[in-house]
Amino acid sequence: MSCFAYWRLTLIVVLCAALGACVSSGPEIIGLSDSAFPTPESGSTTHRVFVATTRARSDNPAEFFSGERSGRMSLGKVDVAIPPAHQVGNIEKPSSGKPDPAKHFVVRTPEIHGDPATFASRLNAALAERPEGKRDILIFVHGYNVNFTSAVLRIAQFVHDTGYPGIPVLFTWASRGRTVDYVYDINSALQARDSLEELGVILSGIDADNVDIVAHSMGNLLVIETMLRLNERKDVRREAKLRRVVLASPDIDIDLFETQLTRVLDVKDQFVVLVSEDDRALSISRRIAGGVTRVGATNAETLSELGVNVIDLTQVEDSSSSHHTKFANSPDVVQLIGRGIQDGNTLSASENPGALRLLSGELWRGIAFVPSASADATPNGPPPGQER
């Protein structure tokens, strides 16, 4: 190895370590609690999360699925109990050891569904238990340096804090959840395209009213690449309505993103891109990627010119040193996103107090809403009853 190559590799490892420090994965805690699974009477809330993954199975019961790649997609479910003292924007978990159901998120009853038909049947049964108008599906795709437990906890927290009334479906690809595996992770994300496409075909046959997608960081690349594939298929039912695609802190090359958008012209007005120019994780990712700006750190007005709606979170304060997970960590942001997802196909103003309002340059608690340049929207104030 040449001296230059050695120092370049060293720089990448150091940068990845810094990036990983911003996005800590945390301990594996699947099924570790010896206590009885909490009941509604205890004040906890349980969410059933359906899971599709390209991870290999683990021999460790606390891990369930590892960070290694599998040659096929596995399907299943887990149950997540959220403690009664949960604070919006937080994921209460132990720093090590077993979780306490009274204080922490608890993940129990992991189960594998042997085939797509069983998975689809149980998902349809869960939808049928929801009242009419609430039979929606939320697909969540995580980003870099995330182990299986952390992916499960994040979707449960997001669904709980947004008040999403439908069924959460986690697609978790084979991230190793280690700081120095940035290159491994991005290849794992790309390797998962076939499986996410397969999941899309399965869900197109589900009796859902709406399908919403939320992707974070590196997961955005996987989502958009898969959408391009599904867009070309003729065997995908369109009855399941794609309502909203939330791209949170996308770790995507801006030039690549612009090219991708030219191939999804029919749905790009349903994209909502969450950006923050102080995103430290994406600043480091930019250095690893040869200095090309990442979508999640792009100026909101510039990004809106590409025809997507943008939410600028730059001035939103959060407790994270990386400013990379404001979409889920900031109470104001996570709850407003939840209302916006459920509001329908447009981000334009409506009479619904829960609507996600476009402020076109104005700020509401540090959040700036910038419609796509092609949107016909009139600036509006914050939702009724909410002070600026």
Cα separation, 140 vs 268, in Å, equals: 18
For residues 97 and 94, the model is more confident at 94
Per-residue pLDDT, 385: 37
For residues 371 and 301, the model is more confident at 301
Question: For 29-62, how does the pLDDT look when each residue is reduced to its tens digit (9 = 90+)?
Answer: 776 665 567 777 788 999 999 999 999 999 887 8
Per-residue pLDDT, 186: 94
Average pLDDT of 244-273? 90
Domain ranges of the chain: 3-239, 266-388
Measured CA to CA in angstroms, residue 22 lies from 96, 113, 284, 316, 327 at distances of 19, 34, 10, 17, 15
3-state helix, strand, coil in the chain (%, to 5): 35, 20, 45
Give the tokens for residue 362. Answer: 């104005």
> Is residue 350 packed enough to be buried (19+ CB in 10 Å), middle (13-18) or exposed (0-12)?
middle
Cα separation, 59 vs 175, in Å, equals: 17
> Can you tell me whether residue 243 is helix, strand or coil?
strand
User: Which runs of consecutive H residues, i.e. helices, occur in the chain?
Assistant: 3-22, 116-128, 148-162, 182-191, 193-204, 219-231, 254-261, 280-288, 300-304, 326-329, 331-342
Per-residue pLDDT, 21: 41
